[in-house]
Amino acid sequence: MNGDAAVEKLVYEYALVRVVPRVERGEQINAGVLVYSRQAGVLRAAIHLDEARLLALDPDVDLDGVRAALDAVAHVCGGGEAAGQARDEEPGRRFRWLTAPRSTIVQPGPVHCGLSVDPAAETERLLALLVR
């Protein structure tokens, strides 16, 4: 070793946020990512809705409703007044609530784990890799 201290990697969890415009068909697009790390004190959401792809799956989809649902996910992650009742919950509880299975148009994907020296930076990396 060259004397540098080992860089500590922190555990983080992530889940994709998916839009399923017609649940009965099961077609979906990835529209965001949630990242949570208790060790780093991070709960983040990054959203990117490709409206053209969504309209290709369902030309009659309620875009305003989908945008509002995605905004709500981001607000719950951020806490604060816009999160409504969830603002008082700890980040881990908010992450678990956001990743609980549901059969609505905006749904979480399965939760995955990773290691990173900067879990907050994983939000944009995963958005670029898995959504954009």
Residue range 89-100, pLDDT digits in tens: 888 989 999 999
* pLDDT of residue 1 exceeding 80: no
Q: Model's pTM, two decimal places?
A: 0.88
Residue linked to tokens 């020296």: 117
**Domain of residue 51, residue span:** 14-130
Report whether 34 contacts 114 (CB < 8 A).
no
Please indicate, yes or no, if residue 50 is contained in any of the structural domains.
yes
Please indicate, yes or no, if residue 1 is contained in any of the structural domains.
no
pLDDT, mean over the chain? 90
Please indicate, yes or no, if residue 18 is contained in any of the structural domains.
yes
* pLDDT of residue 116 exceeding 90: yes
d(CA 55, CA 4): 52
Please indicate, yes or no, if residue 35 is contained in any of the structural domains.
yes
Residue range 38-79, pLDDT digits in tens: 999 999 999 999 999 999 999 999 999 999 999 999 988 887
Number of domains in the chain: 1
